[in-house]
Structure 1
């Protein structure tokens, strides 16, 4: 008796606004798989109807993924190929799917990711800020105290930072950015990307906040915040001394351990100091 060949899990990006961004390859995969796992079945069925895709759709979201992932893996092992989609954009990017993909990899099931729409790269491409190095921070915490604490930890980050934000928290987040990161730091707010009312607001944090406060339309829709990294001079005044300590300790310790010890001595963040030491090595 021949053994059943396992199916393939396809990670399929869907449009973040403009339906024309669903690629021909994505359409073909969604037509041909045995079923589609969707974050929100009602939302996804509307999208699929636009392309005459009449396929089985079942729910896989953050509240049921852990309990349903095993059953999905069993179906793949039985030979069905399946597609995973989120409400918009690329699955697993601030969306469900990690648990399922991890289990598929553990079981040796082939996972194929299609390239496609993603709000992060779309916003970065048009923001006009450095993109050679950046960090994606997802959604900041909803509670004010936790949000400000998260921003404090990022205040000295030198890479461009990307955040997602929701309409009902945008003013609070921009206010916290102004208070914690600084009013003069450059910020780009990309809103309603690829849609009819797509807008980019660019300027200092204070300028973007003022424009959003003055125009209620800028408080609607999906937002991506692209924040400039901290200039070199905004780093702690002890950075150079700490780097010198790292170099001394490296004669006896691995770089990571040397950075951790030096960070403790100088009161700096060990990860930040480790990155600075790596950059120093590359210059």
Structure 2
């Protein structure tokens, strides 16, 4: 990849990973629409690591409190709001792990296409709009409970389909279950930590088996740009989401779906 391609793809990853518009769709599309070669496993690991570092550092206080409380809940049987949230995040991660292993080959072979992305972009965008308009928006993330967490976890598994958007579908599920916009976003962001970490480990394992050469400069630049973009995205998204709502992202998804359909059928 040349430097421009690295910058564009890293910005796409960082800005779209935590917005409800699908980072995987935006990373697949440049290769298909602009004729770029696939960026490869090593670059996927790099930009994913950048966005993972961003969410870990941004929520470092919450994650540290959850980790301490979770440890105490195991060894001293002490439960509090932070330990419960930690257990719920773990529970919500299980469906993605199961379906990820079960369906990854099928998804990689049959679903990484512009046509699938066009459909999922529109369908799940409309579902996000409906959830945002109809949700009661009364609960915070500490009031979610294990049943709601598991439901959001199954929703997260749908994000294995390109174009669905992991953050988008988990926020949609949270809004449907009565979480506020901010709580649905925070729960979604916290859920991204174990999922992103697991994905990075698996892709790194595949990378170590790959004979492809590694461009250290491109990977370093991609990681740094993805980190800065993702951190800024998280910060400003949480500040404006309560006032702005999900409608602008729904409009964007519908417009993107229309553009994709134009590329496909024209």
User: Under TM normalisation by the shorter chain, which class is it?
Assistant: under 0.3
**CA radius of gyration, larger in:** 1
Q: TM-score, normalised by structure 2?
A: 0.21
* Larger relative helix fraction: 2
Q: TM-score, normalised by structure 1?
A: 0.20
Identify the structure with bigger relative contact order (alpha carbons < 8 Å, sequence gap 6+): 2
* Larger relative strand fraction: 1
